[in-house]
Structure 1
Amino acid sequence: MLLRHVPFLKSVFIYSFTAFGGPQGHMGMMVKTFVQKRKDVTEDELLEYNAFCQMLPGPSSTQTVTLIAMKRGGIPLACITLLLWVFPAALIMGLFSFLIYFFTPGAIHGHKNIPTDLFAYIQPMSVGFVCYAAARMMGSSIKHVATTSIMIGSILATVLFRSPWVFPCLLLVSGTLSNFSNKRIPGSQQKPKRINWINLWLFALLFVGAGVVSELSRSQGWSHGRIYNLFENFYRFGAIVFGGGQALLPMMYYQFVSMPIQHHATTVLSAEQLLTGFGMVQAVPGPVFSVCSYVGGIAMSGDGPMWQMIGCIVATTAVFLPSTLLLFFFFPIYENLKHHVIIFRALEGINAAIVGIIWASGIVLFQSIQFEWSNLVVVAITFCLLYFSKIPSPLIVVGWLLMGLTLHH
């Protein structure tokens, strides 16, 4: 049965190599690939999936593409899609954890041996993808004064209050506001989906079990015990982090750099190594959470190459596992609930808020780039190519990579 999904999986694999710009940039790619080109989902469904994933901890763009696959072929296809989406970025960041030791200390701090010219236009290109996603979604979600007001309010709130908690708060407020209208009612009631409780039990058992095993390995001085600590650390991060991959940085800094110093212990990795990894992941396609592959590799590097590779795999698996289990458990519940009038009306406000959040993300991302007219031109050209032409997204990405290498060499 999976053979009929090969074209879809091929598109996911190509998407995983070309999706730059973090969760917001990924949305532009998803619209282009899975809505317009393949028609796996409608724009409304994509917005709804993304809004639902914003309410859960973990990587929202990863969860969204997993839901698209789940709609097509159930949990088996969703798991294969998740592996295809995560693998390229995790492999690149894992290899980078090996390569970093071949750089001189000066190169680590100054990125002298990393071909940054190649990625010169990637950030402004990502802003173009963000603007394209927001513009496309406005057509289906912003239909009257109320949704326009929610969108504008969401833009202002996201730009002014740059906290991970602003996203769930905006979704809650927007869903409440859109309930004041009594004109909209849901369509025909669908048959409730079966809820698989095993996913929630597995999530809880792993959370508790990882903590117990991690503490035993620490207190009893197990050989290579740090690998058990890493699984617990990253599983916990994946279970509680809201706000995307950027919210991981303060968590990992406290866990691996600050806390060991406070307890007069050896740090797992230096602040410079951590920040170098976060700088590199911005230039890598795929989920920002793939930085965990790099951190896991660095953390186990003192135990030899084989354990360093195991560290990459364990950290990556642990950080994506809890959010995936929660997604598989909560989405059927959400599917059952959304046919109730209150939830149905709330979706209109939530979708409008998501459009505002995406616009705001484009603004924030552009503000983080050094202002140059050339960057503004890259944003405009990328937007126009996506909106007015049929050039595939991967070719646009490759074009800007080559342009950066040519003009900055």
Structure 2
Amino acid sequence: MLYLRHLEFLKLVFIHGLTAFGGPQAHLAMMMKTFVKQRPYVTEQELMEYTAFCQLLPGASSTQTLTLIGFKRGGPVLAILTLLVWILPACTIMCALSFFVEYIEGSSRHTDIFKFIVPMAAGFLIFACISSLPYSVKNLITGVIAVITAIATFLFFGKPYIVPILIIASGIVTNLSRKRIPQTDTKPGKIRWWNIWLFAIIFIIAGVLSETARKNDWTYRKPINLFEHTYRMGSLVFGGGNVLMPIMYEQFSVRPEAVKNKNPNVIQIGKKEMLTGIGIVRAVPGPVFSIASYSGGLALKDMGPSMQILGGVIGMIGIFLPSALLVLFFFPIWNMLKKYAVIYRSLEGINAAVLGIMIGSTFYILKDVILFDGSTLGFWNIAIILGSAFALIFTRIPPPILVAVSIALGYFL
């Protein structure tokens, strides 16, 4: 079979899915080590470009970036396989946790072993910043862009609008000079419209069916409503998991209380259960969007175990499908646009902005980590930050080993 030659790549993706802690910024740093340094599936410049491009789209940016690596390696089929292999571990864990949420509510012990994951993630980000520096800062203006975007990211971290604004503004700044990259003649390529049509058709059909099921109170209206809710969120949410989670909390826990009298069969998840999932998903490897499998399981919990599992699957498909369709549609267009000087010049500023965003994210992550208070915990945090960065920069130790060491230290210390 043709795709047998990609088994090594998919194996790395699977391991990445089991060990990628720390959120999107840390995921990027781990991709840098695994798919650029350990196995040169993409270059540093390509990874930075993919990351910047995905930040401009709604959905799970780190998932979309990894999907594009698979797309480069083997086209649309491998891209979809990459997406599935990446999201399945996290979604499986989160769906399973929806069965046991009552046993872990109110307990902080489940996060104790992960207390050194944040310092480890900071070490990964330091590595990514150092590795990206030669490709992102090549002159004075890109250096200024990196510094400004780092400060802005730190000050407005978590705001859904900040990253797209920084990337677009940086691309505009480097377009002010037209001397470095002259315009060359280029022919526009053919655009494949099928996946954007599929995205739109699913969006419309899901909305119509969901509203019809609600009005007519269909017996199995909840699975239909659940798919529409998650597909809509995956289609419209900018800013990653930090933006998705409060939207889910409002959709599934807050809003149902206000409409319960008028709509008694509305999907409703208890506030405490939802907040527990929001806390746990940060300690689970893989994409933060996997919380959709947890909320999907809880949404159909009252319909029995088999429907609860189905709810986890619906949540997974609904939240990740629009991201995949959008990125696979727009990326070929982006590649065609890069042939124009105005876009090519923008990449210089965009790459510098991505570096600045990583630097700002590093400092934001570190602001809540105990470091210099003279305590034993502070000592270990510093040791893990520096040790992780040193190991990634100067050794060939795979990222999963560093993750395992951090978890082991969290357990024993």
Q: Residues 370, 229 of structure 1: CA spacing in aligned structure 2 closer, same or farther, 3 A cutoff? A: farther
Rounded to whole Å, the distance in 2 between the matches of 1:194 and 1:63 is: 22
1:169 aligned residue: 165
Rounded to whole Å, the distance in 2 between the matches of 1:284 and 1:249 is: 15
1:375 aligned residue: 381
8 Å contact 1:186–1:339 — kept in the other structure?
no
1:397 aligned residue: 403
TM-score normalized by the length of structure 1: 0.95
Rounded to whole Å, the distance in 2 between the matches of 1:303 and 1:193 is: 50
8 Å contact 2:186–2:340 — kept in the other structure?
no
2:317 aligned residue: 317
8 Å contact 1:224–1:303 — kept in the other structure?
no
1:235 aligned residue: 231
8 Å contact 2:22–2:121 — kept in the other structure?
yes
Q: Partner amino acid for 1:125?
A: M
2:390 aligned residue: 384
**How far did 1:263 drift?**
2.0
8 Å contact 2:337–2:343 — kept in the other structure?
yes
**Matching of residues 148-187 of structure 1 within 5 Å:** 148-162=143-157, 163-185=159-181
**Matching of residues 13-28 of structure 1 within 5 Å:** 13-28=14-29
**How far did 1:194 drift?**
3.4
SS at structure 1 position matched to 2:105: helix
Q: Residues 202, 368 of structure 1: CA spacing in aligned structure 2 closer, same or farther, 3 A cutoff? A: farther
Q: Partner amino acid for 2:336?
A: N
**How far did 1:389 drift?**
1.4
SS at structure 2 position matched to 1:109: coil
1:45 aligned residue: 46
2:132 aligned residue: 137
Rounded to whole Å, the distance in 2 between the matches of 1:190 and 1:250 is: 45
The C-alpha deviation readout for 1:227-271, integer Å capped at 9, x for no partner, is 111100000100011111111122112111111122245661122
The CA RMSD over aligned residues, in Å, is: 1.6
The C-alpha deviation readout for 1:150-182, integer Å capped at 9, x for no partner, is 000001111112311011111111000001122
SS at structure 1 position matched to 2:283: coil
2:88 aligned residue: 87
Matching of residue 36 in structure 1 with residue 9 in structure 2? no
Q: Residues 311, 170 of structure 1: CA spacing in aligned structure 2 closer, same or farther, 3 A cutoff? A: same
Q: Residues 289, 186 of structure 1: CA spacing in aligned structure 2 closer, same or farther, 3 A cutoff? A: farther
TM-score normalized by the length of structure 2: 0.94
2:191 aligned residue: 195
Rounded to whole Å, the distance in 2 between the matches of 1:352 and 1:358 is: 10
8 Å contact 2:90–2:285 — kept in the other structure?
yes
1:254 aligned residue: 250
Rounded to whole Å, the distance in 2 between the matches of 1:42 and 1:190 is: 25
Rounded to whole Å, the distance in 1 between the matches of 2:208 and 2:291 is: 26
8 Å contact 2:183–2:340 — kept in the other structure?
no
The C-alpha deviation readout for 1:285-315, integer Å capped at 9, x for no partner, is 1100001100100111111100100000001
Rounded to whole Å, the distance in 1 between the matches of 2:327 and 2:187 is: 20
**How far did 1:67 drift?**
0.4
Rounded to whole Å, the distance in 1 between the matches of 2:280 and 2:164 is: 28
Alignment match of 1:123 (pick from 115, 118, 127): 118
Q: Partner amino acid for 1:138?
A: L
Rounded to whole Å, the distance in 1 between the matches of 2:97 and 2:358 is: 30
Q: Partner amino acid for 2:99?
A: F
Q: Residues 7, 187 of structure 1: CA spacing in aligned structure 2 closer, same or farther, 3 A cutoff? A: farther
Alignment match of 1:245 (pick from 238, 241, 247): 241
1:342 aligned residue: 342
**How far did 1:208 drift?**
0.8
Rounded to whole Å, the distance in 2 between the matches of 1:118 and 1:190 is: 55
**How far did 1:370 drift?**
4.8
Rounded to whole Å, the distance in 2 between the matches of 1:263 and 1:401 is: 43
Rounded to whole Å, the distance in 1 between the matches of 2:207 and 2:334 is: 29
Q: Which moved more, 1:46-55 or 1:250-259?
A: 250-259
2:328 aligned residue: 328
The C-alpha deviation readout for 1:375-394, integer Å capped at 9, x for no partner, is 23221111111111111111
Q: Residues 212, 369 of structure 1: CA spacing in aligned structure 2 closer, same or farther, 3 A cutoff? A: farther
1:295 aligned residue: 295
**How far did 1:186 drift?**
6.7
Q: Partner amino acid for 2:133?
A: M
**How far did 1:188 drift?**
7.7
Q: Partner amino acid for 1:348?
A: E
Q: Residues 26, 188 of structure 1: CA spacing in aligned structure 2 closer, same or farther, 3 A cutoff? A: farther
Rounded to whole Å, the distance in 2 between the matches of 1:222 and 1:378 is: 54
**How far did 1:373 drift?**
3.8
**Matching of residues 263-282 of structure 1 within 5 Å:** 263-265=259-261, 268-282=268-282
8 Å contact 2:38–2:396 — kept in the other structure?
no
SS at structure 1 position matched to 2:100: helix
Alignment match of 1:211 (pick from 207, 212, 215): 207
8 Å contact 1:186–1:340 — kept in the other structure?
no
Rounded to whole Å, the distance in 2 between the matches of 1:91 and 1:159 is: 33
Structure 2 unaligned runs (5+)? 372-377
Name the % identity: 45
Q: Partner amino acid for 1:51?
A: A
Rounded to whole Å, the distance in 1 between the matches of 2:322 and 2:120 is: 32
Rounded to whole Å, the distance in 2 between the matches of 1:279 and 1:70 is: 32
**How far did 1:206 drift?**
0.7
8 Å contact 2:101–2:276 — kept in the other structure?
no
Q: Residues 192, 315 of structure 1: CA spacing in aligned structure 2 closer, same or farther, 3 A cutoff? A: same
Q: Residues 157, 306 of structure 1: CA spacing in aligned structure 2 closer, same or farther, 3 A cutoff? A: same
